[in-house]
Amino acid sequence: MASLNSKSLWFAGCLSVAMLCSGLAQAGIVIQGSRVVYPAKEREVTVKMTNIGEQPSLVQAWVDKGNEKLTADKADGPFLITPPITRVEGKKGQSLRLVYTGDDAASKKQETVFWLNVLDVPPMPKDQDANFLQVAVRSRLKIFYRPEGLPGNPNQAAEGLGWSVVQAGNGYALRVRNNAAFHVSLATVQLVTGNKTFSVGKDDVKMVAPGASVDLPVPGLAGQPGAGAKIDYQWVTDYGALSQRETPL
């Protein structure tokens, strides 16, 4: 079977336009979980998919190192996926097998993150009209490749984050440093000082890599907070759940 070309990816960007059309074939593939953890000791990891729609879907999967513009034929992720292209019948499930093939860039002292792409192409309807537009939906999930023997607990890594307030341009930002060997995916961040609460914008909340620092702009903050200031934040665990912690600044 031939690989899906870049035109298929272009369709995914047309979703907002497609909503205006009277005929629209929507994808129905749902992936179990919001992330993939790949322990180095495992020979393979399985990702489960379910087609919640009535019609079959054609699915193509590939892994990249972080460039979301790469298509399957240029994928640079060090994983073998079986099957790379598959048909999933309506109301049925299918599993993708991921096998790590090795990567010189992957560290043995900390996690390395890759990205799993799942492109879902619904079938052409038999009764399509002139306004029909085919829509392919691509999902991207983080793959955390986790070497053996890393110090600490991945689900407690966020508890050791270091926080400080720094000037950023004409405003201020929260600088968060991750000293753990695991990535920390923040979900929400708030600075509480006195009787005021300042929230980091949803689009500005980031994942913090091991050993890295990230500056999170804090809208409305006009200076260094006073004594007793604290940080209230949430992060995503290995299981896709949210954990919350409050810590002094």
CB–CB of 59/119 below 8 Å? yes
Domain with residue 185: its CATH number is: 2.60.40.10
Whether residue 132 has pLDDT greater than 70: no
pLDDT computed for residue 130 by the predictor: 60
Q: What is the pLDDT of residues 139-166, one digit of tens each?
A: 999 999 999 999 999 989 999 999 999 9
Residues 36 and 113 in one domain: yes
Last-in-domain residue among 105, 125, 146: 146
Residue 15's φ and ψ, nearest 5 degrees, are -60, -45
Whether residue 7 has pLDDT greater than 50: no
Residue 1 falls inside a structural domain: no
Q: What is the pLDDT of residues 163-197, one digit of tens each?
A: 999 999 999 999 999 999 999 999 999 999 999 99
Residue 135 falls inside a structural domain: yes
Residues 116 and 177 in one domain: no
Give all strands of the β-sheet with 171-177 in edge-to-edge order.
162-168, 171-177, 213-217
CB–CB of 101/114 below 8 Å? no
Q: For the chain, what is the domain count? A: 2
What long-range pairs does 199-203 form, CB within 8 A, spacing at least 24? 200/174
Whether residue 14 has pLDDT greater than 60: no
Residues 56 and 25 in one domain: yes
pLDDT tier, 19 (very low <50, low <70, confident <90, very high otherwise): very low
Owning domain of residue 72: 6-146
